[in-house]
Every structure is written in C-alpha cells, then in structure tokens.
Amino acid sequence: MESRAFTEIAASESKYWWYVLRRRLVKQLVRRYWGMQRVPRWLDIGCGCGVNVQHWCRLANHVVGLDVSPEALAFARTRAPQAEFIQGDAAALPFEDNQFDIVTALDVIEHLDDDLRALREMNRVLRPGGLAIVTVPAYMWLYSAFDRVVMHRRRYTRRMLVQRARTAGFHILKSSYFFSGLLPVVALYRFIEPLLLRLRKKDVHQHVQVIPRVPAWINRLAIAVFSTELFVVRWIHLPFGTSVFIVGQKPA
C-alpha cells in the first residue's frame, strides 16, 4: 500500500466520529479500571498506521504497537516515534509471559480464524492484574458486503465475547454493547444493501467505502450525539448496539 493511502487512513482514523468515540471509550475504561496513574507498559494489537498508539502514549510510559503489515508499521513509526513497533501475529504474540499492564485489541479478533487463541495470548502476555480491552462488531445478522470486503470472519453478541474471554482465562470487569443509536440505521441499510447493489450494478468492492467520508457538520453532530453513550455506559450495560466491548482482567 502506498504512503498516500496510509495518510488517508490515518486522517480518517484521527477525525472520523466512530474512531474518535472508540478511543474516548477506551480512555474512559482505562481511567475507571486502571486509575489516573500512567500505565507502565501498553500493547496495542492491530495498531495499523499508529493513530491510536499516538493517543496511548499520552497515558503510558511505554507503548508497543503490533501489526502483521510491515508497510503499516513503517508508516506508524513516523506517526509515533516515541513508541515501539513490532511485526507479529495476534494469535502468536512475540513476547514473553507477563510483560504488559494493558493490552488493547480494537476490532481485531473478528479477522482471525482462531479468536480464542488470540485472547489466550493476550492473557498470557499480561501481568497478573493487567487489563485487556477488546472491541468487536456486533450480531452476525448484520454481516454484510462491508464485512466481506474488510475480511471479517464473524460478528459477536455480548454473551459470545464474554464466554470466549472467560474461556481464555479473564475475569470480566465490564461488558456492553456500544453505538446503540446506530443500530436501527445499520439494520435498515443491511436490509436494503442487496437491492442497492443490483440497482447500481456495482461490484461489492466498488460499493463499499472502507475509508468513511462524511460532511464535517455530520461528523461533529455524530460525536456530540454518541458522546451521550459514553456517559451512560459508565453506569449500565447497553442492551444492544453495533459494537461490543469487554474489559477483562488477568487474575492475580
């Protein structure tokens, strides 16, 4: 992939409301379950072009970004030179046991053939008492052309993700759906998507826009609207949404 493409992806991940709110959610969870003190060592699995790593560096003493793509890692090093970047597989992490205090895997394990193995690897490299924050897309009935293009193997229910994390050895501190207000819109779109493809006579890859583009005012409005969920999810488990997250703790 060319550097220009990574620049576009990074720009999208920096500003697009969905990515912005997902980062805010992670920061909120870290402050609640880790505290206000800096995290000694943080591993970000599937770091891509390094936008999230830039933010985690403000919360941690040492951040390691891991990705399978050497091109993405090369670009990430220019974005966050203060971090460490390593090429590797989420299902076979290239680290010794008990190395990290927080591990994040944001919309990563749905791409893997063996998601349980990846969760076990996260548990292995965490220090006792360390935290894993994992986000995934919700509901197989929402599986669509977009999922096929971005190579999702599956989507999850909250129960499914919790069960897998527990099997991997985690104690679950928090689990919930997120982006609840988006669910009716996405569900409607998934329903009419096959019709749109036929009417437009487009290939799936032509139809799906992986890098989102919306007017700036819509982006600002979405951030304002969905920020209310950040407040609500502090206190309750949202019963539905287009994403699922867990905070898992490695037993001491």
The whole-number pLDDT of residue 209 equals 55
Best CA proximity match to 85, nearest among 112, 30, 45: 45
Residues 6+ apart with CB under 8 A from 249: 33, 129, 130, 131, 132, 170, 171, 172, 173
Cα 12 to Cα 212: distance, rounded to the nearest angstrom: 7
87-113 pLDDT, tens per residue?
999 999 999 999 999 999 999 999 999
Report how far apart, in Å, the C-alpha atoms of 113 and of each of 101, 116, 154, 162 are: 26, 9, 9, 18
Q: Give the pLDDT score at 50.
A: 96
Spatial distance between the Cα atoms of 216 and 210, rounded to a whole number of angstroms: 18
Say whether pLDDT at 8 is over 90: no
Write down the pLDDT at residue 204: 46
**In the chain, what are the domain boundaries?**
3-249
User: Tokens representing 132?
Assistant: 């894993």
Greater confidence (247 vs 149) lies with 247
pLDDT recorded at residue 189: 79
> What architecture is the 3-249 domain classified under in CATH?
3-Layer(aba) Sandwich (3.40)
242: which 2 tokens?
């287009």
Whether residue 4 is predicted with pLDDT greater than 70 in this model: the reply is yes
Q: How sure is the predictor about 196, in pLDDT bands with cuts at 50, 70 and 90?
A: low
Which range among 20-29, 87-96, 192-201 shows the weakest confidence by mean pLDDT? 192-201
Kindly state the tokens that stand for 139. 């509901």
- pLDDT at position 195 is 67
> In this predicted model, what pLDDT tens digit does every residue of 118-154 receive, in sequence order?
999 999 999 999 999 999 999 999 998 889 888 999 9
Cβ–Cβ < 8 Å for 245, 30: no
